């Protein structure tokens, strides 16, 4: 595992985030489960820092953002309270956006594609989805009633609902039942739509460019 983390941190980060997506539905119904998810969130933060260390990202920026987020998650795990969730989510959103930018710079940094860079394509997508989901948590805390859904329309949306909306928005699938209703929330969702289209364009353009350049290098 240490060797894999050093050689292919993007693959490990992507796997951890996908496991988190599958595990969270089993953790939301009790305080112990939510505490465990906070601990899991700390582990993922560590993987984010590890992934950024292998990219052109600045380590001190990552650590500066990661430390307060980790401390707040530890407090949430110990107290089993969600009162600090908007604050930890704010730090995590900035960290994930920064990490996604560093990963994109890593993928575009040369004219060859390594196996870790292929995993980085998926890891970056999930990083952006996570970042916007955390942003929605903050938005909901500042502007209550920012989002509604088919079930429990007036209730506060939980993390899984916001993450699901983030994935459906970023991927442009449009199958989500959670929708923004306040102007601030709609503005953030529109930004995520633009980010999703821009990311797909970047990835496709890079693959096409490398396909065109490969014959030239061979000649």
Q: Cα–Cα–Cα angle for 122, 167, 159, nearest 5°?
A: 115
- Structure confidence by residue, pLDDT tens digits, 23-53: 888 777 666 666 677 777 777 877 787 777 6
Integer-rounded Cα radius of gyration of the chain:
18
- pLDDT at position 58 is 63
In the three-class reduction of DSSP (H, G, I as helix; E, B as strand; rest coil), residue 5 is classed as helix
pLDDT digits (tens, 9 = 90+) for 131-157: 999 999 999 999 999 999 988 888 899
Between CA 138 and CA 120 the distance in angstroms is 27
Mean pLDDT by 10 residues, the chain (219 residues): 62 85 78 69 76 65 81 81 86 89 79 76 89 95 92 87 92 83 96 92 76 54
Residues in the chain: 219
- Alpha-carbon distances, residue 190 vs 5, 170, 184, 186, 202 (angstroms): 35, 10, 10, 6, 18
Q: How far is CA 203 from CA 21, 24, 48, 154, 206, in A?
A: 23, 29, 20, 38, 5
Q: What is the reported pLDDT for 109?
A: 72
The tokens for 166 are 């983030």
Residue 185, CB-side half-sphere exposure with 13 Å CA sphere: 25
């Amino acid at each position: 595992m240490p060797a894999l983390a050093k050689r292919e941190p993007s693959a490990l980060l992507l796997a951890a985030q996908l496991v988190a997506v599958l595990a969270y539905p089993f953790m939301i119904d009790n305080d112990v489960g939510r505490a465990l998810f906070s601990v899991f969130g700390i582990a993922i933060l560590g993987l984010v820092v590890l992934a950024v260390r292998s990219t052109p990202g600045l380590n001190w920026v990552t650590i500066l953002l990661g430390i307060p987020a980790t401390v707040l998650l530890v407090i949430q795990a110990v107290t089993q309270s969600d009162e600090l969730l908007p604050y930890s989510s704010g730090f995590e959103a900035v960290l994930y956006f920064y990490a996604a930018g560093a990963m994109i710079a890593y993928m575009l940094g040369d004219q060859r594609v390594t196996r870790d860079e292929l995993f980085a394509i998926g890891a970056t997508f999930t990083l952006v989805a996570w970042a916007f989901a955390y942003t929605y948590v903050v938005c909901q805390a500042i502007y209550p009633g920012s989002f509604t859904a088919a079930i429990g329309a007036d209730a506060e949306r939980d993390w899984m609902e916001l993450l699901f909306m983030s994935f459906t928005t970023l991927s442009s699938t449009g199958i989500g039942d959670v929708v923004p209703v306040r102007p601030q929330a709609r503005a953030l969702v529109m930004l995520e739509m633009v980010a999703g289209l821009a990311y797909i364009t970047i990835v496709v353009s890079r693959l096409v460019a490398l396909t065109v350049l490969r014959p030239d290098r061979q000649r």
